[in-house]
Structure 1
């Protein structure tokens, strides 16, 4: 009787979460029509300017209540939805209002449209900004991105140009870009159950955390960010690796998919070394790593060379990456520390201009962290390999033991990739809310505890307003101090735990 009543309570809670989140998504869509990132909307600077606009109080009220409802519903089931199918249906329901809403939380989709227009009209988007190219939709682009070259790879530039060709005008182009983003998410959704099985974790939890997250609905669906395409290709490439390790054809295909992800957004490159670990088959030796990883690397470099050649843009996109850090916001820990150093210098009459220096140190630290994460994953895989072999030699349970060994190996490699993306997000010069979606899918597949990454993702959902105004811009000093204090607290607690 108690089990039955507990199941009923669990079912009631799940249904309540489903419709609570749907109501939240609906309110966010309403906020988008009232004051979202519409093409002719004025570029606001502060929440006060939205509040003073016609319908401003209603816009902010719908946005706040909708975000609270959506975040609360997602949070309530962070340990897993009732079933995988239930998670997919609910995530789809939440996405429906956002699919038909105006762009939300950012104006980047207009930058994509202008970059696609630039390429479609025979101008290299890696040498000139969209203003110099003469994009007819320039007024919709945020001023900071009007004169900077495109920071995205040739695959996404080709996709953006395709959207311009198919869409015709601005509205049609935005719709096409949203369809492309939705296709990227659909690809990730199709691959998640296979990766969950390979890692030995419940697919219902992975699907819920990765697909129903508010950041996914608002920024990847409504905002049509190209991160959705990158994630779809990345997850598909990793699934191909873990399903067919040691198979040359499969590894070539997986490398090509990962290469395509890199040529959408270069961030995906930090996952590649861990994919090489997952590609190795049999004993974990340097020879096996080079042999199997070589096939993966071959597919990746082939994708880079072919896409750069087909687009006619070569590797000019690499230079555009230097402009991705043109904005300075305290949501990036290195930038926040640089702000605090500048504030401290101002108190003694100095102007240290510390932000560029701290950012450079953070990037060097990132390289070291990635190397350590890879080495630890390599050592763990070698240890698991020897343990599995010795265990199988002592027992007759070869088939079940080998299956468990494969799960453990896949999980170690995937978790290493997830932590690499976490480190990249934390140590990057810039952080935008949708960057938190990078590690979210892989952490949902591998992390034993969820709160430590679900809580920051939930908090990030409150950083942007419907028209794209970033609250970090108007909370620079208190935000920088709070971020630096949080960073010091985490470092001190980690040091004490390691000491014990």
Structure 2
């Protein structure tokens, strides 16, 4: 461990301690208003400590973005940073109280998908953010069941929140255990992958201290991907039916984990088509897809169906997904474009109400983009014969492991994981709403697959500054400037992408 590593370790630890103190002074406590930072004498001190702590953690994380000295060092350092955040108040949002009330509704015999927490009479409704008091639960039945168990075992709000935080910590630990194996399978240094995810301030602040159920989703998603990434070449002809049973069992378990991840948060469904490519042995012809992908689908269907039947809630949670966009913030690019159109319209006395239209456009673009990403992943794994000599597809795909010589080799696990990570990133960018902890979805997968990290590490670093300890989102305070800046950024990225696609003129022959 060099001097730079030592400075980064202790700078991040100091930052975590400052954030923990800021949490005690102005965190999202249940008996405080949502604007606690602004309504107390300690508000300026809280904001100062929060910004200093966030800057320290982000700076230390950024310094070692190319990799910690070792995987063990990364685990130990991230653990030290997490400890202060594990014992402070909920940070960055009040969603954990929504989880508690939704679990209380189900434990009390109600249906959290049919009514909001206020109408159901949750005794802790005052702790829930006002915007979510009248909305049904948008989370799957598996998570609602776990939240109800936390309510029954916890006995009160404090015990329930503590158990929900333990559940989130378990998800982070499960994901952490899979990082070295996934990184090795994808050809990425485990010390870098481990550092990028576990030391990211978004994980400690929002997944652990904030107890977001995104941690549980990742804790189910990454083990499923690890099972699929470790599948070797088909040896069923050598080992007979026993090998086929093991293979089938692994696919069913991986599928079950993926289904449970979707039953926590619907976002995980984006990964399923890419997981199917990882499940297929040999070329993904129709028979191979039906054989291996079918087993994975059976497991995923079971992971969805069993909690739905066990809880008796069915698929009612799908109706609550539409209410997740009730907040209008410029941090979502489609929403920012619509906000700017509305502001320009108001200058001319018009009220175009463009946000719903731009959000629909973003979802349509995502619907078209995801199949293209899947097809590109498939083409990289199995390019047409005429494209093999040039290898253009594989060279353009950053997760392909190229080796010297005429024969260009690829790493199948890296290609599939990279495709899944880009699909999650596209989902985050084009969704109607963005919250800082959403960035951990693609981060968890890209950390173990991407060879270039700056393009997703920088947005995660910036997202760490978006929320205050009491749950106030700074995007609410900077609506017009933020919408303008985000729209300019979107236009710049579009222009840059089009310029790169423009064919280059070939030089004249000598």
Q: Same fold (TM over 0.5)?
A: yes
Within-5 A mapping of 1:30-41:
30-41=21-32
Q: Aligned to 2:93, what secondary structure does the other structure show?
A: coil
Pair 1:28-2:22 in alignment: no
Cα deviation 1:441-474 (Å, max 9, x = unaligned)? 1111111111111111000000000000000011
Q: Does the aligned pair in 1 maintain the 2:381–2:410 contact within 8 Å?
A: no
Name the CA distance, whole Å, in 2 between partners of 1:109 and 1:198.
Answer: 35
Cα deviation 1:165-219 (Å, max 9, x = unaligned)? 1111111111000000000001001111111111111000000001110000000
Q: Does the aligned pair in 1 maintain the 2:224–2:253 contact within 8 Å?
A: yes
Name the CA distance, whole Å, in 2 between partners of 1:287 and 1:83.
Answer: 43
Structure 1 counterpart of 2:101: 114
Cα deviation 1:41-62 (Å, max 9, x = unaligned)? 1221xxxx72451211221111
Match of 1:223 among 198, 206, 210: 210
Name the CA distance, whole Å, in 2 between partners of 1:39 and 1:52.
Answer: 15
Structure 2 counterpart of 1:397: none
Pair 1:260-2:260 in alignment: yes
Q: Aligned to 2:134, what secondary structure does the other structure show?
A: coil
User: What's the CA shift for 1:387?
Assistant: 9.8
Match of 1:193 among 180, 186, 204: 180
Structure 1 counterpart of 2:343: 343
Structure 2 counterpart of 1:290: 290
User: What's the CA shift for 1:418?
Assistant: 0.2
Name the CA distance, whole Å, in 2 between partners of 1:264 and 1:385.
Answer: 41
Q: Does the aligned pair in 2 maintain the 1:256–1:299 contact within 8 Å?
A: yes
Match of 2:442 among 439, 445, 467: 439
Structure 2 counterpart of 1:174: 161
Name the CA distance, whole Å, in 2 between partners of 1:374 and 1:360.
Answer: 22
Distance change in 2, residues 1:497/1:147 (3 Å)? same
Pair 1:359-2:359 in alignment: yes
Q: Does the aligned pair in 2 maintain the 1:234–1:261 contact within 8 Å?
A: yes
Name the CA distance, whole Å, in 2 between partners of 1:339 and 1:140.
Answer: 30
Q: Does the aligned pair in 2 maintain the 1:98–1:222 contact within 8 Å?
A: yes
Structure 1 counterpart of 2:10: 19
Q: Aligned to 1:445, what secondary structure does the other structure show?
A: coil
User: What's the CA shift for 1:406?
Assistant: 9.5
CA RMSD, Structure 1 to Structure 2 (Å):
2.0
Q: Aligned to 1:131, what secondary structure does the other structure show?
A: coil
Structure 2 counterpart of 1:75: 62
Q: Aligned to 2:207, what secondary structure does the other structure show?
A: helix
User: What's the CA shift for 1:349?
Assistant: 2.1
Q: Does the aligned pair in 2 maintain the 1:200–1:407 contact within 8 Å?
A: no
Name the CA distance, whole Å, in 2 between partners of 1:26 and 1:243.
Answer: 38
Q: Does the aligned pair in 1 maintain the 2:341–2:354 contact within 8 Å?
A: yes
Within-5 A mapping of 1:134-213:
134-213=121-200
Name the CA distance, whole Å, in 2 between partners of 1:433 and 1:238.
Answer: 24
Name the CA distance, whole Å, in 1 between partners of 2:386 and 2:297.
Answer: 26
Name the CA distance, whole Å, in 1 between partners of 2:291 and 2:365.
Answer: 29
Q: Does the aligned pair in 2 maintain the 1:105–1:464 contact within 8 Å?
A: yes
Name the CA distance, whole Å, in 1 between partners of 2:342 and 2:286.
Answer: 46
User: What's the CA shift for 1:366?
Assistant: 0.3
Within-5 A mapping of 1:436-475:
436-475=439-478
Name the CA distance, whole Å, in 2 between partners of 1:53 and 1:119.
Answer: 36
Match of 2:92 among 83, 105, 130: 105
Q: Does the aligned pair in 2 maintain the 1:198–1:407 contact within 8 Å?
A: no
Name the CA distance, whole Å, in 2 between partners of 1:143 and 1:86.
Answer: 42
Cα deviation 1:398-452 (Å, max 9, x = unaligned)? xx99xx9997011111000000000000000000000000000111111111111
Name the CA distance, whole Å, in 2 between partners of 1:286 and 1:25.
Answer: 51
Name the CA distance, whole Å, in 2 between partners of 1:223 and 1:129.
Answer: 21
Name the CA distance, whole Å, in 1 between partners of 2:146 and 2:30.
Answer: 21
Name the CA distance, whole Å, in 1 between partners of 2:287 and 2:432.
Answer: 37
- Give unmatched runs, 5+ long, in structure 2: 235-246, 389-402, 505-510
Q: Does the aligned pair in 2 maintain the 1:283–1:385 contact within 8 Å?
A: no
Structure 2 counterpart of 1:428: 431
User: What's the CA shift for 1:114?
Assistant: 0.4
Q: Aligned to 1:383, what secondary structure does the other structure show?
A: coil
Name the CA distance, whole Å, in 2 between partners of 1:385 and 1:97.
Answer: 55
Q: Aligned to 1:328, what secondary structure does the other structure show?
A: coil
Structure 1 counterpart of 2:114: 127
Pair 1:492-2:479 in alignment: no
Distance change in 2, residues 1:253/1:387 (3 Å)? farther
Structure 1 counterpart of 2:484: 481
Structure 2 counterpart of 1:393: none
Name the CA distance, whole Å, in 1 between partners of 2:343 and 2:448.
Answer: 41
User: What's the CA shift for 1:304?
Assistant: 1.0
Within-5 A mapping of 1:309-320:
309-320=309-320
